[in-house]
Amino acid sequence: MPEPLRVAVDATSLYDVPTGVGRFVREVLAEAGTRPHLEVSAYAITLRGRGRLADLVPPGVSVGHRGLPMAARPLRAAWRHGDRPRIDRWIGPLDVVHGTNFVVPPTTAAAVVTIHDLTYLRFPEMCTGAVLGYPQLVARALDRGALVHTVSEFVRAEVLDHYGLRPERVMAVANGITTPPSGDAAAGRARAGGERYVLAVGTVEPRKDLPGLVAAFDLAADQDADLRLVIAGADGWGAEALTDAVARSPHAARIVRTGWVDEQSRSDLLAGATALAVSSRYEGFGLPAAEAMASGTPVVATDVGALREVVGDAAVLVPGGDPPAMAAALIRVAEDKGLRADLRARGLARAATFTWARTVDGLEGIWASARAG
């Protein structure tokens, strides 16, 4: 019987309000933890909630810490300039260490780093200070020989182009899609304050171009007196631009900002929505669009980054940064019942092809390659 593959996975993102990375980590751990030929442990590079990690990880996943503190800021500062301290002192001997969010620490084990997108290189003006530290951390990990996991073929091509790596060092494995809980459309409409609304989901940040979506909604609202816009997501950095756009909107009374919503509330909003709008300037995958498809909610999205790769023919795509085109697409979907039904059917079929079991199958291949290499 072959030796188990021992993998430590960075689960720091589980401490935060759930985002796309957090859902990726949670689902990968949950699926990997069911496989007897894997020994999966989790670690977190943070001092927040010390001792809580065991309560955050799914069954079947152990916590690899040895009780030593892991302070993110000084450790990342050290890792940007050198290969000490190695993470082995915290998590012990393993086959593979997988950094799930752009950062994989120095280690004597084999290393894998997930690169979700290249926003930090393509659009540095849309990044926080912490994210602007990624280039050095990624470059040092690559210099140490880390293999790269990307969540789409689009990002894989970008990584190969920018870093000049051998193709076999960069492997694309798509995210799965977690089928949302059954949503209550009436509850979603009550939250929206109307029967017909466009929904946007996700953390408010510049990359999502939500001010551009407000501009598109203003054009659509001029033609449709009943249409509303609901923006569901926690404020990230740069949220002031959205606040200003809403304040200037002639239809501000029909724009609802819910802030962060829990999983059930998100499902309710998706169930009641006329369409989900994704107005992003750049996406490495596009989890909100994927989850909307799984909910049977029609999707209108910008044709940027990996969105076309993810939605296929199951969404209406428009050019990025073009509010009139977005407005026209939203009106078209809102007015065409047959189109909405077609998008629902296509979206459900498309979403069914993205499973977390398939994701972990792909990651297992990367982990095995890393150990063998």
DSSP per residue over 100-136, as a string?
SSS-----SSEEEEEE---HHHH-GGG--TTGGGHHH
Give the number of other CB atoms < 10 A from CB of residue 242.
26
Give me the pLDDT at residue 363, please: 98
Our CA angle for 98, 41, 165, nearest 5°, is: 10
Specify the pLDDT at position 249: 98
Question: In the chain, which ranges are E strands?
Answer: 5-10, 38-43, 62-63, 96-99, 110-115, 147-150, 170-172, 197-201, 228-232, 255-259, 275-278, 299-302, 316-318
Q: Number of C-alpha atoms within 13 angstroms, CB side, residue 302?
A: 25
Exposed, middle or buried, 68 (CB in 10 Å: 0-12/13-18/19+)?
exposed
Please write the tens of the pLDDT for every residue from 248-291: 999 999 999 999 999 999 999 999 999 999 999 999 999 999 99
Rounded to whole angstroms, the Cα distance separating 239 from 5 reads 43
Q: Residue 320: name the closest of 292, 278, 285, 289 by CA.
A: 278
Phi, psi of 354 (to 5 degrees): -105, 105
| Segments in the chain below pLDDT 50 | none
Find all residues with CB under 8 Å of 244, minimum gap 6, and list them.
Answer: 211
Which are the contacts of 307, defined by CB distance < 8 A and separation ≥ 6? 278, 280, 283, 286, 289, 301, 315, 317
Residue 38 to residue 242: CA distance in whole angstroms:
45
The whole-number pLDDT of residue 320 equals 96
pTM for this prediction: 0.93
The whole-number pLDDT of residue 66 equals 58
Domain annotation for the chain: domains and CATH numbers: 5-176+355-372 (3.40.50.2000), 185-351 (3.40.50.2000)
pLDDT at site 65: 65
Q: Kindly report, residue by residue over 102-148, the tens digit of the pLDDT.
A: 999 999 999 999 999 999 999 999 888 888 889 999 999 999 999 99
> Nearest CA to 102 among 159, 30, 27?
159
Classified as helix, coil or strand, 231 is strand
Phi, psi for 29 (deg, rounded to 5):
-65, -40
Distances in Å between the Cα of 350 and the Cα atoms of 37, 334, 365 are 30, 21, 24
Residue 195: what are its φ and ψ, rounded to 5°?
A: -80, -30
**Read out DSSP for 246-285?**
HHH-TTGGGEEEEES--HHHHHHHHHH-SEEEE--S--SS
CA–CA distance, 153 with 78 (Å, rounded to integer): 32
